[in-house]
Chains A and B, each alone.
Chain A
């Protein structure tokens, strides 16, 4: 199969910026989007910070009527998709609708809808559950809602593979176009700020009190966040034909499963996914110029991830810049790896590596070059985006600058 697939549009809604340009400026400035949580009362919790998207005006992207019928995760996904199409200067009207599709990754789905249902149920009984809220919940509505808004009649999938879901979705969309089953795909991830995730991660003692410090010796955990990231994928030929701006070529991807533990990260599995991705892409480890880490800021994740990097890259690891943008955004769950793919695209395009902020104290177990605190101008030919998820599911994507 020789078809080359490229990324030609980026759409992002995040705590550090809405739209590609705002997002990128914040990234290279090392701006943090972490603030006191306002989505719900955190007074009963041990921590109070999160990466919420502020200043998001849904009516800029959906009608009031549509807004009243969908949850926040769908809304973020629609906004991301519209921004991505706009950025690609592509209109679905120019494609056969049957050959335009969407893949969306998520961790919690329409979590806020369910949280509201649970509240009503618990406080006032089954009869208090609003029937109209029910169809907004099932996870498959995420891609459906985007497709309805944009009139996409092609492949339509929600791939809820937790915190690696964005990469899963982009990977499958890449396969779909390569196999000839679609001409254009929107793909990415979305998650709304989740009380359930906030409860759970706090109970696992995995949440940092105020800031996320990946790879730092004194790192205290992850920060729960929300957002959405969507990219436009199409064939290289098609992109050339319509004179689109190409951010990067997708060279391939690799999936693996730790088959080890539901929540504990595991270097062997992470390594497997990276190696598979490199193998499919036909790229040698030494050729990789930037590694975008999963880098959640938990003790276990960062340690295991660094171990995996050393296993794959051998001595090259010392020369390989590895950064975690979760230091700025927190962990946007199912959107994370999609947003990180967008960061990689922009890094490849602009030859700038976004930093890992909040880095103070080196950790001998994480002695990688984490691009501490300040972005770095450097030629980037090949970027890797590694992600891991609950369930031991790993996904790694390889992106290449188009020469």
Chain B
């Protein structure tokens, strides 16, 4: 059986440094940071004050005024990104294609604000008085389902929660569905909103930058000064399509999803480990599945998020996989600009990779000043750089043991 090829025909993205493909791409190559003081909730009691918050987000601009009232921020973000993605791919959902079209969203804490507020409201006012219209927001698959409802997408709808790897895993789930003939087109990506619940989670467990005295509140992956995450929020949706379907529609093909690998490090929850086995296996499988030799990778779109262990961990894994050639492979972190968007990060990295293929240029790692001797790769620290970019490795990993790697390539017919 001929293996079906999975291509990307468009994407929609909403991040703190740009809304929509062109704004995001421009910010990315100019090295513009989206990190700013938090306005979504009061930070006066906290040591940390900044995040990658999306300031000028008006869902009405994308979705109109109707039917927004009961939707939480994650749902508004993901629906807006879906709308942008559909537009970008010139895709219209019709009676003819809806049964072959699906939605897969990676999110882990996308509904936590809704769940927590619903529960607290019931405790405060009594269970009789809480607004039942807000109950549907308390299921984790609510943002994803609302995309299907709004755009009438009936093929299937799935949500994947694997923490930091969620949206990369969602992209793979979608690609699997296309390869297995379960769907022809899938809106795949991720969403996480910035809210006090998620912020508190990372804050109280000590993952945020700027928690220790005299430490910089800065997202500076691979830099010696790095000391933790700057939290971000984002939604990014890719339109994945079976090649035949894209060709039939005569649309531009941005890139191809070549291969994917995932591996789990079953050691501990919520603490980075420097055991490189899992991510190495994930990368190895992704290359294998892509039928690519390691020396064909031109660029690594890193999952590094400015944590001391995480950035070192990825550096170590990459070195072990690529050996001597490692220092010649540029690797940069989009999270230096938009912060750690948790479950939405992988999809944003995939979008950044597609921009890199389109521009034949590499997005930089910004905020880099001081060298850490243990992190000694080419992190593209001097601003964006022109380069031949055919094959990109995207990594996602986290302190709970998940490791996923995706190979995205320039489309060759």
- Interface residues in chain A, defined as those with a beta carbon under 8 Å from any beta carbon in chain B: 1, 44-46, 69, 98, 101, 106-109, 114-115, 117-119, 121-122, 126, 129, 131, 134-141, 143-145, 147-148, 150-162, 168, 172, 175, 178-179, 195-197, 199-204, 255-263, 269, 272, 389-393
**Closest approach, in angstroms, between the C-beta of B145 and any C-beta of chain A?**
3
B residues 81-139 near A (Cβ < 8 Å) are: 98-99, 102-103, 108-109, 112, 115-116, 118-120, 122-124, 126-128, 130-132, 135-136, 138-139
Q: Does B162 contact A (CB under 8 A)?
A: yes
A-B contact pairs, 7 of them (CB 8 A): A109-B140, A134-B204, A141-B400, A153-B263, A153-B277, A162-B140, A203-B131
- Interface residues in chain B, defined as those with a beta carbon under 8 Å from any beta carbon in chain A: 1, 45, 98-99, 102-103, 108-109, 112, 115-116, 118-120, 122-124, 126-128, 130-132, 135-136, 138-142, 144-146, 148-149, 151-163, 166, 169, 173, 176, 179-180, 182, 200-201, 204-206, 262-270, 277-278, 281, 400-402
**Closest approach, in angstroms, between the C-beta of A114 and any C-beta of chain B?**
6
**Chain A residues whose CB sits within 8 angstroms of the CB of B131 once the complex forms:** 203
The residue in A107, A121, A156, A202 that gathers the most chain B C-beta atoms within 10 A of its C-beta is: A156
Task: Judge whether A144 and B401 touch: CB under 8 Å.
Answer: yes
A384 to B138, CA, bound (A): 29
Determine the residue in chain A with the shortest Cβ distance to B121. A199
The residue in B146, B151, B204 that gathers the most chain A C-beta atoms within 10 A of its C-beta is: B204
Task: Judge whether A134 and B153 touch: CB under 8 Å.
Answer: no
Known: A153-B265, A199-B122, A390-B142. A257 touches B173 (CB 8 A): no
Determine the residue in chain A with the shortest Cβ distance to B343. A140
Apart from A140-B161, A140-B166, A262-B146, what are 16 other A-B pairs with CB-CB below 8 Å?
A108-B138, A108-B139, A109-B140, A122-B124, A129-B200, A135-B400, A143-B162, A144-B163, A153-B266, A159-B158, A159-B159, A199-B130, A203-B131, A258-B148, A390-B142, A391-B139
**Chain A residues whose CB sits within 8 angstroms of the CB of B176 once the complex forms:** 175, 179
Task: Judge whether B115 and A114 touch: CB under 8 Å.
Answer: yes
Task: Judge whether A257 and B156 touch: CB under 8 Å.
Answer: yes
**Chain A residues whose CB sits within 8 angstroms of the CB of B138 once the complex forms:** 108, 196-197, 200
Residue of B126, B157, B269, B278 touching A145 (CB-CB under 8 A): B269
Task: Judge whether A259 and B139 touch: CB under 8 Å.
Answer: no
A152 to B148, CA, bound (A): 33
**Closest approach, in angstroms, between the C-beta of B144 and any C-beta of chain A?**
7
**Chain A residues whose CB sits within 8 angstroms of the CB of B146 once the complex forms:** 262, 391
A69 to B270, CA, bound (A): 11
**Closest approach, in angstroms, between the C-beta of A323 and any C-beta of chain B?**
26
**Closest approach, in angstroms, between the C-beta of A69 and any C-beta of chain B?**
7
Determine the residue in chain A with the shortest Cβ distance to B98. A259
Known: A118-B116, A141-B400. A154 touches B123 (CB 8 A): no
Task: Judge whether A391 and B109 touch: CB under 8 Å.
Answer: no
The 6 closest A-B pairs by CB, nearest first: A391-B145, A200-B135, A255-B156, A135-B270, A160-B140, A262-B136
